[in-house]
A = this chain, B = another copy of it.
Amino acid sequence: MTRILIRIQYDGSGFNGYQKQLNGRTVQDALERALSVIHKANSWPCTSSGRTDTAVHGLNQAVHFDTPLSISMERWPMALNSVLPDDVQVLQAMTVPAGFHARYDTVGKVYRYRIYTTGSRDVFRRHYAHHVKGNLDPVRIQKAAAHLEGTHDFTSMTSAKTEVVDKVRTLFRVQVEQNGDDLELVFVGSGFLYQMVRVLTGTLLKIGSGEWEPAIIPQIIARKDRIAAGPTAPGNGLYLEDVFYDEESLQAYLRELDEPAGGRT
C-alpha cells in the first residue's frame, strides 16, 4: 500500500460540509465514491486535515488515502477528476510516508473570510462572499486582530456545542487585507475549533462597524463563554485556503503576508 496526499479544491455551496454524515451531500462522500470507483471497491476511506462546515469552500484542502494501485502521481488528479462531480477537483497528488496523517501532522492552517460592503448584494457572489451593509473600518479590525494573535483559550470563540476539551489554540496571524472593493480577513493558526473562524469574524465585524471597541477582545477571551463574542458569520464567505505540514512552508506563507499586497500573487 502507498499512502497518498492529495490537494483538493471545492465549491462548498452545493455541499453539507466536508465530513460525511447520515443526510446530505458531502465532499468526503464525493471523494470516497470516486476512490471506490477507481479501486473497484464498495467503499474506500480517506482522511482530511479537518472538516469544513456547510457552504464553506476549500482552496487547497489536504486529504490522505492508501492505495495498492500503481498510478503515477501525475495521473492521480486526472483519474480522480474524471469520476468526481464538477464542484470538487483534485489539484495535486504526492506520496507520503505510511505514518503520515493529514489531520495530526498539520503545523498550521489558513482560513480566509471574504466580505464586500459596496453597493447592494450581488446575486453572483451570494455563495462566495458575505455582504455587509454599511462601512467597515479596516484599521479598527486590525487593532482588534492584534489582540487575537498568540496562544489563548478560545472557549468564547467557538460553538457552545464543541465537544473538544482543550480549547487552547495559537493564532500566528490575523490580518485584514483590502482586495479591490473586498475586505478579507486572514487567519493563520495551529488549529481551529468548531466554527471558530466564523465567530472570530462575527466579532471582528462588530468592531469594524463601530459597535464594539477593539479593546473588547481580551475581555471576550477572558469570559470563556460563547455568549461574550459576536454572532457566527455565515459560512459562504469562508475559505479553507491552505494546510501546512512543514514549518518552512508555514513560515514562507507568513513572510508573504508581510509583503505589500501588490507584491503577492
Contacts and interface: CB of A to CB of B under 8 A. Distances in A.
A86 B123 contact: yes
A53 interface: no
A28 interface: no
A122 B87 CA distance: 8
Interface in A67-89: 81, 86-89
Contacts of A81: 120
A124 B11 contact: yes
A189 to B, nearest CB: 24
Contacts of A121: 86, 89
Contacts of A86: 121, 123, 126
A9 B88 contact: no
Contacts of A57: 124
A79 B123 CA distance: 17
Contacts of A122: 9, 89
A128 interface: yes
Interface string A96-140: 000000000000000000000000111110101000000000000
* Interface pairs A-B: 3 shortest CB-CB: A11-B123, A86-B126, A89-B123
Nearest to A89: B123
Contacts of A88: 123
A10 interface: yes
A11 B87 contact: no
